[in-house]
Amino acid sequence: MKAAKIVAWLCLLAMTAGLINAFVNGDFLVDGGALLANPWGVMAMIDLYVGFVLFSMWIVYREQTLWKISLWIVTLMIFGFLIGSIYVLKALYESEGDWTVALHGVHRGATDGKD
């Protein structure tokens, strides 16, 4: 669990540094247009949004209340995996070292694979 927390913290720091750099040195509209004009840029966007959808499915599974689910997913879509890193850290710290709690949240007793 300690290694997972270290990785999540490193991801959070990398995302924070990257976002600061992008906001300070970039132009979202110009750079976004150049990204979408490149086939690999389009592929990167597809990859990103597939990741958003899959990660959002985990949030929906773990959380219990609609407003928390909505808040996490909306902020994930706006701020990307900066929020994903924070969510992973939240799950790890809430679990108090129990991987079942970290992965399953409110569904920790229903780990038999059935919906």
Residue 111 lies in a domain: no
Residue-wise pLDDT for 74-113, tens only, equals: 999 999 999 999 999 999 999 988 888 889 987 766 555 5
The two counts, helices (H) then strands (E), for the chain are 6, 0
Q: DSSP strand E in the chain: where?
A: none
Buried-state track 84-107, b at ≥16 Cβ within 10 A, e below 16: bbbbbbebbeebeeeeebbbbbee
Residues contacting 50, CB < 8 A, separation 6+: none
51 part of a folded domain: yes
The answer to the question of residue 115 being in a domain is: no
Q: Which domain holds residue 67?
A: 2-106
Q: What is the pTM of this model?
A: 0.82
Query: What single-letter amino acid sits at 39?
Result: P
Q: Is residue 83 part of a domain?
A: yes
Task: Answer whether residue 112 is part of any domain.
Answer: no
Residues 8-67 pLDDT 10s: 999 999 999 999 999 999 998 898 899 999 999 999 999 999 999 999 999 999 999 999
- Does residue 114 belong to any structural domain of this protein? no
- C-alpha–C-alpha distance, residues 50 and 47, integer Å: 5
Residue 42 lies in a domain: yes
